[in-house]
Structure formats: C-alpha cells, structure tokens
Structure 1
Amino acid sequence: MNISPFSLGVSMAAVSIVSSLSTSASAFSLGDYNLVVFEDVTSNSDVEGSAFIGGDLLGSSSNYCIKCDAGGSFFPFDGVGLKVVGDIEGNPKNVNNGTDLEYGGNLNAIVNMNGGGSIIQNSNLANEFTQLKNFLSNESTLYSNLASNSSINVPGQQPGPVIFNSSGDSVAVFDIDAADLFSNKTQQIELNLNGSSTAIINVRGTSANWNQGNIVGDLVSDDEVKEKVLWNFYEAETLNFNLALYGSLLA
C-alpha cells in the first residue's frame, strides 16, 4: 500500500482492545505499533506512537513517537519508536522521547534522536516485518467479515456531516464505502459511541482521497475515545490523507 502525505493520530490502546476479538495465537498484537505500512512511505506526518514501515521512508520531515512518554500507553513495547525495513531518505526525521530507530537498508537522511535513543541497523527487520504483515492481513480480513450492527448517516444532495451512530453494543461495527466517507459532500466526520467499548469502522475501496471534512467531537478531544476506534481499510492499496485521522488505522 502506498500512503501519500498525511497527518495521523493513532492510539495503541485501541488496537489492543480490538485484538481480543481474535482467538488465534500469535507473537504479535494489534497494539504493538501505531502505524504499519506494507510498502514505501512518503510522509510529512506526525505519529503519536511507534511505526513499522515495510519499504523505504521518503519525503519531507516526519515525526514519530511524539506521545511516547516513558511508562505511558504509547511507549513502544520494545523501546523502538521507528522501524524501517528499507532505506531512509529525504529531509530530517525525528524519533522522540528516547525511543530507538532500527533500519535495514541505507541511512541517507538526518535522524534527530530526541531524548537520546539509539540508531541501530537490523538485518532481521525484513523477516520480522513479513511475519507482522501476515498477522495484520489476517486480522484485517477477520474484522471486515464482521456483520455491521450500527448506523451511518451520510450527506444526501446537500453537503453535511458523516455521523457514525453506535448501536451501544460492546463492539460497534460499521461498514462504509470510501467514496461515501470522503465524498465532496462531506463537511465533517463524527462518531457517537453510545456506550460501546470498541468501534470497528470497515471501509471498502482500493483507494481513498481525503482532503476535506475534518473529524470533530470526542474523537478529536477525548483520548479515551481515540483508544476505542479502529479504521479498517481492508481493500486499500493507496491512501492519500491531507487531514488528521484519529483512532487506529489498519490497511
């Protein structure tokens, strides 16, 4: 999957909750990383927690582990704030809060290790990533097959909000087409959890272009709500996000 420049706010706790829906044994958890991309990333984004990139990291300056305070819920399980299987190119990158950087290819960019983390070349990252990719692909398929139990209001002829209304079940499941979610009629995106402990938003479509319609409400202002939301772009090949997505992203 290719991801164009975007700003992403994600939460480790959210995917940890969702991962309990799977009964299969695995060395991985959906809570291990806040951003996982299967191929190259060209990014100017901020990632609140840790990231694992299966290809090269390119583009202008980007930031990782900006909320990884020691002992906090965003701090990576292995202390590594950024893993890149391939090369690191482009403008300076920032790895924050004393977390480490691991890379498998060539380091051709300045990386600022804010807080004193280490830079480590790791030849085993490709094998580790292959296992993680298989796990995540299986999880994405599992969630995409869940039956929707909650409603979505989308704009009609006139511009308006996209509103996700949970059924109030413990796990709220939504199903929406990317073209409806990010249409030119979408003015804002809002989620009402209504007591649900987890929200899984399955988004159909091989590509998504999001350049209007900010997320509003508790999903922006309340970290506890962010920790309960998983956006599952289970068919995605290309995501082009120019606005901030809150919750956890699986694609």
Structure 2
Amino acid sequence: MRFCRPLSAIVGGLVLATASATSAAPLPATADAQSVNAGLQAMRDYNLIVLKDLQSSSQVQGRTFVGGNLSGGSSNYMTNPGGQAGGVALTVGGNVTGGAKNINNGGSVKVGGNLDSGANMNGGGSVYAEGNVKKVNANGASVYSDGNVSNTNAKDIYYGGAVSNSNGTKHAGDHSADGIQTAIAATTASLTTDLVATSDFFAGLDPTHSITYSANGQQAMFDAGSGTGVAVFSISDLNAALKNRSQLIFNTPIGYDAVIINVGGLKVSLPSSINFNGPSGLGANVIWNFYEATSVDLGSKSWYGSILAPEAQLKNNNFVSGSVVAASMIQNGEIRMNGLSAPGLTALSNTAVPEPATWAMMILGFGAIGSVLRRRRAAFAR
C-alpha cells in the first residue's frame, strides 16, 4: 500500500530541508524509524552487505559483511577504502573456501566458521576465526583461532586446538576467538530486520518524478532536476521500461538529500541493448530499491547508484559504483566506493513527536495550569 500524507515540519517523515511542491512530496513518518536509520547507517558503514552467501571472484574497495559463507576464486577486499579504511575489512559468519582472499590496507578479518581458503594480509591486519585456519600469511600480524592452525605464517599464533607447519610465536590453549560466530549471527539478524524495514519504507513512498525518453526513443532518462528533500521514481517493470533503448541516462540530482528508485518485480534483469554510463558519484545519494525482488541480474552492465535488494540474489558481471545490499550474491565485478552518504536522510518516528493538534491541546493545558497556579498564589497572599 502506498501512502503519502501532508505533515508539518515538526512531525515530518524525514529530517530534510523543506521540499517544494514541485520537487519532492512530503514523506510519511514511520514506526520503524529506528530500523530505517540503522539500515541506512549500515549502507554507509559497508561497501557490500550480503546477508547470506557470497560467491566472489572479484574485489570490494571498502568493507564487506557476509552473514553466511564466502566461496569462489581468489578475491580482494578493502582495495581502495577511502573513509572506510582500518578496522575489520571482511566479516564472514560461516566458512571461507575457494581461492585465497587478499586483505589490503591494514584491514582485519573475522570469520565465524573455518578459514580454509587461505588469506594474504597486506598491511598488518590480524585474523580472527572461531574455526580452523589454513594457509594464512599474516605479514607480521597475529592469528587467533579457537580451532586448529596449519600452514600459516604470523608474528603470533593464538590457538585453541593444535598447530602444524606454521611459523610464529605460538600461544596454546587460547580461546579468545570463541563466540565470534554467535556475535556475527546476531549482527546478521539485526541487519536483515533493519535493511528489509528500510526497503519497505522506501517502497511505500508515492512517486514524485517519472522516467522520460528522448525524442528518438533511444535514451531512457532519470532526471530529478534540482530540489530539496527526497525525490522518488517508481518502476513496476525495469526490463520493459528499458527495452529497445540503447542508453540509460541518469542526470546528477542537485540539492536532494536522496533520490529513491523503487523497482518492482520478483525477477529483475536488464535488456541486452541498454548501456548505463552514469556519473560515478550517484551512489552517495541515489538508491535503487528492489523491494520485491528475489533475483536481480545486472548482466554485463556497469551500474551507478547504491543498491538495496535485501531479499534478492544479486548477480553482476561488471562494476557497481555505490553501496550494495543483497540477500545472496554471485559477484563477478568490482564493488566500488562512492557509496551511500546522504547525511540528511534520517527517519523520525511517527510517535516521537506529538501531532500538531496534540501540541495545541498541550499548550492550552499549560495555560490552564498556569492560571490555576496564579489563582492559588493570589489566595495564599491574602
């Protein structure tokens, strides 16, 4: 159900600059404000969030969170993190298998299961795994495993099981990595709740703008122009909207806190004819919200703007420039920074602030109370 009701600035659905009637409609408040805000913050904190399993043979420039297992060929993480540098570069709730994982710019790794693929820690980040660890080159940093460690080189090796064919100062009987899987599972559950709530909230917004086409029909154009607040596009069938077009044109929005493109449909794919060569900074405040999708296939197309598809399997064969959220993913193209920032995008609860009519009653009530107190003080003075 779509809804949009006028709200005063004191109650507003989002804390935004006042939107003109022609640029962006007022937004509804939401009872899920806490989850929506947490979902948006997660998209700022991570370059890639996969709630279940990720199969990758590519790279992610910023931080990556995987709630399930990580498989596939050799892949690279935190290659160009910008403001996401440092801390945990790669978090995996399950097992890490396949080709070696390369962790760059000093990022660390946390794994809830076994790290069987091997890892090269480039820049001094440490490895933490509740399960077994194999074939890690920690380059002077430490490895912590609640299980067994084998074929590993590190400055210090802390282990709860056994160690074999490994170099470094060994610390037996260490269980400091115990509990990682439970902690990651709890984070995954929270992220799932928050990101689905965020997607649902955006899906409920009435559109303020429509896709247009060039005179020759070859260009499909998203142009919100300039304005304030949040602009919303709605597309029920993306493939049909782009079919027989040669270019997807997305003009850089000016002044908006965010532009939301709500895309319907369970199975979303792109026509082979379309090419998308957009401004690289779209991911900062443009969100493609695949709110119904169980699968999204970007094919061989480059993609600009952040992607919110918390219940879909996402597949890409070219780069995505922006923050990415998916239920599961087959990644064959780079995930680039230029992710979501949109600092003005902050949801307010519809119960956090009284409605205008309630404010009026409260003000009248305060006045009546003051009148009674004045009469009482006068009586005491006599």
TM over 0.5: yes
For structure 1, which segment, 134-143 or 36-45, has the greater mean C-alpha deviation from structure 2 after superposition?
36-45
Question: Residue 134 and residue 194 in structure 1: after superposition, are their counterparts in 2 closer, same or farther (change >3 A)?
Answer: closer
Superposed, which structure 2 residues align to 1:34-53 within 5 Å?
34-53=47-66
Q: Deviations over 1:94-114 (max 9, x none)?
A: 222211111112212122222
Match of 1:175 among 234, 249, 255: 234
Question: Residue 217 and residue 96 in structure 1: after superposition, are their counterparts in 2 closer, same or farther (change >3 A)?
Answer: same
TM-score, normalised with respect to structure 2: 0.52
Instruction: Judging by fraction of residues, say which structure has more strand.
Output: 1
DSSP-derived class of the 1:52 partner: strand
Q: Distance in 2 between matches of 1:211 and 1:112?
A: 39
Q: Which residue of 1 aligns with 2:277?
A: 216
Alignment-mate amino acid for residue 185 of structure 2: A
Match of 2:34 among 19, 25, 28: 25
Q: Distance in 2 between matches of 1:24 and 1:211?
A: 36
Q: Which residue of 2 aligns with 1:119?
A: 127
Q: Which residue of 2 aligns with 1:239?
A: 296
CA contact (8 A) 2:214 2:221 kept: no
Q: Which residue of 2 aligns with 1:163?
A: 221
Match of 1:132 among 191, 206, 209: 191
CA contact (8 A) 1:65 1:99 kept: yes
Superposed, which structure 2 residues align to 1:37-116 within 5 Å?
37-69=50-82, 72=83, 74-75=84-85, 79-116=87-124
Q: Distance in 1 between matches of 2:77 and 2:51?
A: 17
Q: CA deviation at 1:132?
A: 1.1
Question: Residue 112 and residue 228 in structure 1: after superposition, are their counterparts in 2 closer, same or farther (change >3 A)?
Answer: same
Alignment-mate amino acid for residue 210 of structure 2: S
Aligned: 1:207 with 2:267 = yes
DSSP-derived class of the 1:106 partner: coil
User: Greater Rg, structure 1 or structure 2?
Assistant: 2
Q: CA deviation at 1:129?
A: 0.8
CA contact (8 A) 1:50 1:65 kept: yes
For structure 1, which segment, 108-117 or 79-88, has the greater mean C-alpha deviation from structure 2 after superposition?
108-117
CA contact (8 A) 2:290 2:308 kept: yes
Q: Distance in 1 between matches of 2:213 and 2:70?
A: 35
Question: Residue 95 and residue 228 in structure 1: after superposition, are their counterparts in 2 closer, same or farther (change >3 A)?
Answer: same
CA contact (8 A) 2:225 2:251 kept: no
CA contact (8 A) 2:239 2:270 kept: no
Match of 2:257 among 197, 200, 204: 197
Q: Distance in 1 between matches of 2:100 and 2:271?
A: 25
Match of 1:141 among 190, 196, 200: 200
DSSP-derived class of the 1:189 partner: strand
Q: CA deviation at 1:139?
A: 0.6
Q: CA deviation at 1:141?
A: 0.4
DSSP-derived class of the 1:151 partner: coil
Q: Distance in 2 between matches of 1:63 and 1:210?
A: 27
TM-score, normalised with respect to structure 1: 0.76
Number of aligned pairs?
221
For structure 1, which segment, 209-218 or 38-47, has the greater mean C-alpha deviation from structure 2 after superposition?
209-218
Q: Deviations over 1:144-166 (max 9, x none)?
A: 1111111213589x872321111
Q: Distance in 2 between matches of 1:84 and 1:208?
A: 27
Question: Residue 199 and residue 162 in structure 1: after superposition, are their counterparts in 2 closer, same or farther (change >3 A)?
Answer: same
Greater RCO (Cα-Cα under 8 Å, separation 6 or more): 1
Question: Residue 96 and residue 154 in structure 1: after superposition, are their counterparts in 2 closer, same or farther (change >3 A)?
Answer: farther
Q: Which runs of 5+ in 2 are unaligned?
A: 1-15, 17-28, 130-179, 310-382
Q: Distance in 2 between matches of 1:154 and 1:47?
A: 34
Q: Deviations over 1:53-100 (max 9, x none)?
A: 12211222333222214xx2x337xx1122111111222222222111
CA contact (8 A) 1:34 1:248 kept: no
Question: Residue 165 and residue 239 in structure 1: after superposition, are their counterparts in 2 closer, same or farther (change >3 A)?
Answer: same
Q: Distance in 1 between matches of 2:94 and 2:51?
A: 11
- Identity among equivalent pairs (%): 35
Q: Distance in 2 between matches of 1:114 and 1:189?
A: 38
Q: CA deviation at 1:204?
A: 1.2
RMSD (Å), alpha carbons = 2.8
